[in-house]
Protein backbone atom coordinates (compact mmCIF):
# COMPACT_ATOMS: atom_id res chain seq x y z
CA UNK A 1 0.00 0.00 0.00
CA UNK A 2 1.48 3.27 -1.09
CA UNK A 3 0.40 6.29 0.94
CA UNK A 4 1.10 9.79 -0.22
CA UNK A 5 3.12 12.14 1.89
CA UNK A 6 0.07 14.34 2.35
CA UNK A 7 -2.00 11.43 3.75
CA UNK A 8 0.73 10.51 6.21
CA UNK A 9 1.01 14.14 7.31
CA UNK A 10 -2.74 14.40 7.87
CA UNK A 11 -2.83 11.14 9.82
CA UNK A 12 0.07 12.29 11.99
CA UNK A 13 -1.61 15.66 12.60
CA UNK A 14 -4.88 13.99 13.58
CA UNK A 15 -3.05 11.54 15.86
CA UNK A 16 -1.10 14.30 17.59
CA UNK A 17 -4.27 16.38 17.93
CA UNK A 18 -6.09 13.47 19.59
CA UNK A 19 -3.23 12.89 22.04
CA UNK A 20 -3.15 16.59 22.93
CA UNK A 21 -6.94 16.65 23.30
CA UNK A 22 -6.84 13.65 25.64
CA UNK A 23 -4.01 15.21 27.67
CA UNK A 24 -5.93 18.48 27.94
CA UNK A 25 -9.19 16.83 28.97
CA UNK A 26 -7.52 14.67 31.59
CA UNK A 27 -5.61 17.70 32.91
CA UNK A 28 -8.88 19.60 33.22
CA UNK A 29 -10.46 16.63 35.01
CA UNK A 30 -7.49 16.43 37.39
CA UNK A 31 -7.67 20.16 38.19
CA UNK A 32 -11.41 19.85 38.83
CA UNK A 33 -11.05 16.83 41.12
CA UNK A 34 -7.99 18.13 42.96
CA UNK A 35 -8.85 21.79 43.40
CA UNK A 36 -12.64 22.07 43.19
CA UNK A 37 -13.66 18.81 44.82
CA UNK A 38 -10.63 18.95 47.16
CA UNK A 39 -9.76 15.26 46.81
CA UNK A 40 -6.28 14.92 48.28
CA UNK A 41 -3.78 12.41 46.97
CA UNK A 42 -5.00 12.22 43.38
CA UNK A 43 -2.16 12.26 40.87
CA UNK A 44 -2.60 13.28 37.26
CA UNK A 45 -1.65 9.76 36.20
CA UNK A 46 -4.51 8.34 38.31
CA UNK A 47 -6.94 10.08 35.99
CA UNK A 48 -4.98 9.98 32.73
CA UNK A 49 -3.99 6.32 32.71
CA UNK A 50 -6.81 3.77 32.56
CA UNK A 51 -4.63 1.26 34.41
CA UNK A 52 -4.73 3.56 37.48
CA UNK A 53 -8.48 4.20 37.55
CA UNK A 54 -8.95 1.59 40.30
CA UNK A 55 -6.52 3.52 42.51
CA UNK A 56 -8.43 6.72 41.75
CA UNK A 57 -11.70 5.10 42.83
CA UNK A 58 -10.15 4.05 46.15
CA UNK A 59 -8.84 7.58 46.73
CA UNK A 60 -12.30 8.99 46.01
CA UNK A 61 -13.82 6.43 48.36
CA UNK A 62 -11.46 7.41 51.17
CA UNK A 63 -12.33 11.05 50.49
CA UNK A 64 -16.05 10.28 50.75
CA UNK A 65 -15.51 8.43 54.03
CA UNK A 66 -13.50 11.31 55.50
CA UNK A 67 -16.21 13.75 54.39
CA UNK A 68 -18.90 11.51 55.86
CA UNK A 69 -17.17 11.33 59.22
CA UNK A 70 -16.80 15.13 59.28
CA UNK A 71 -20.48 15.59 58.41
CA UNK A 72 -21.53 13.16 61.13
CA UNK A 73 -19.35 15.00 63.65
CA UNK A 74 -21.08 18.23 62.60
CA UNK A 75 -24.48 16.65 63.25
CA UNK A 76 -25.47 16.25 59.61
CA UNK A 77 -26.67 12.66 59.66
CA UNK A 78 -28.24 12.15 56.23
CA UNK A 79 -25.39 13.52 54.08
CA UNK A 80 -22.79 11.93 56.36
CA UNK A 81 -24.47 8.54 56.11
CA UNK A 82 -24.67 8.86 52.32
CA UNK A 83 -20.99 9.76 52.06
CA UNK A 84 -20.04 6.75 54.20
CA UNK A 85 -22.06 4.37 52.03
CA UNK A 86 -20.63 5.73 48.78
CA UNK A 87 -17.12 5.79 50.21
CA UNK A 88 -17.24 2.22 51.46
CA UNK A 89 -18.49 1.03 48.07
CA UNK A 90 -15.40 2.58 46.46
CA UNK A 91 -12.89 1.86 49.22
CA UNK A 92 -13.95 -1.40 50.89
CA UNK A 93 -10.63 -1.69 52.77
CA UNK A 94 -11.28 1.49 54.77
CA UNK A 95 -11.60 0.17 58.32
CA UNK A 96 -12.79 3.38 59.96
CA UNK A 97 -15.53 3.91 57.39
CA UNK A 98 -16.70 0.32 57.73
CA UNK A 99 -16.81 0.52 61.53
CA UNK A 100 -18.66 3.85 61.46
CA UNK A 101 -21.22 2.61 58.95
CA UNK A 102 -21.80 -0.61 60.90
CA UNK A 103 -22.23 1.48 64.06
CA UNK A 104 -24.86 3.64 62.37
CA UNK A 105 -26.71 0.57 61.14
CA UNK A 106 -26.65 -0.94 64.64
CA UNK A 107 -27.85 2.28 66.29
CA UNK A 108 -30.75 2.61 63.87
CA UNK A 109 -31.89 -0.95 64.49
CA UNK A 110 -30.60 -2.42 61.24
CA UNK A 111 -28.48 -5.08 62.88
CA UNK A 112 -28.77 -7.21 59.75
CA UNK A 113 -26.95 -4.56 57.72
CA UNK A 114 -24.44 -3.96 60.52
CA UNK A 115 -23.71 -7.68 60.61
CA UNK A 116 -23.29 -7.86 56.83
CA UNK A 117 -21.04 -4.80 56.83
CA UNK A 118 -18.79 -6.20 59.54
CA UNK A 119 -18.66 -9.72 58.11
CA UNK A 120 -17.80 -8.39 54.64
CA UNK A 121 -14.94 -6.49 56.24
CA UNK A 122 -13.34 -9.70 57.49
CA UNK A 123 -12.15 -10.34 53.94
CA UNK A 124 -10.00 -7.20 54.25
CA UNK A 125 -9.24 -7.06 57.98
CA UNK A 126 -8.87 -10.68 59.10
CA UNK A 127 -5.40 -9.92 60.50
CA UNK A 128 -6.58 -6.85 62.43
CA UNK A 129 -7.12 -8.03 66.01
CA UNK A 130 -9.26 -5.03 67.01
CA UNK A 131 -11.54 -5.40 63.99
CA UNK A 132 -12.03 -9.13 64.51
CA UNK A 133 -12.65 -8.64 68.24
CA UNK A 134 -15.22 -5.91 67.58
CA UNK A 135 -16.96 -8.06 64.98
CA UNK A 136 -17.09 -11.08 67.30
CA UNK A 137 -18.31 -8.91 70.17
CA UNK A 138 -21.10 -7.55 67.98
CA UNK A 139 -22.09 -11.02 66.80
CA UNK A 140 -22.16 -12.38 70.35
CA UNK A 141 -24.34 -9.46 71.47
CA UNK A 142 -26.75 -10.32 68.64
CA UNK A 143 -26.84 -13.92 69.84
CA UNK A 144 -27.58 -12.75 73.41
CA UNK A 145 -30.37 -10.48 72.15
CA UNK A 146 -31.96 -13.37 70.30
CA UNK A 147 -31.94 -15.52 73.45
CA UNK A 148 -33.85 -12.87 75.42
- Report if residue 128 sits inside a domain: yes
Residue 10 lies in a domain: no
Write the burial class of residue 62 (CB in 10 Å: 0-12 exposed, 13-18 middle, 19+ buried): buried
Question: What domain count does the chain have?
Answer: 1
Spatial separation of the C-alpha atoms in residues 71 and 58, rounded to whole Å: 20
The predicted model gives 63-83 an average pLDDT of 96
Domain assignment present for residue 116? The answer is yes
Domain limits at 117?
92-148
pLDDT (average), residues 27-56: 94
Is 50 contained in some domain?
no
Is residue 138 a part of any domain in this protein? Answer: yes
Task: Return the pLDDT at 141.
Answer: 86
Q: Is residue 24 part of a domain?
A: no
Name the band, by pLDDT with cuts 50, 70 and 90, for residue 148.
very low
Amino acid sequence: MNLSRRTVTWCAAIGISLVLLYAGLTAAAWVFVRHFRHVEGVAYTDIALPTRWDRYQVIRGNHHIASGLKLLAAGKFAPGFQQLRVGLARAPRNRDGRMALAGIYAQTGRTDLAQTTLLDGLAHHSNDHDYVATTMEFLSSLAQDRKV
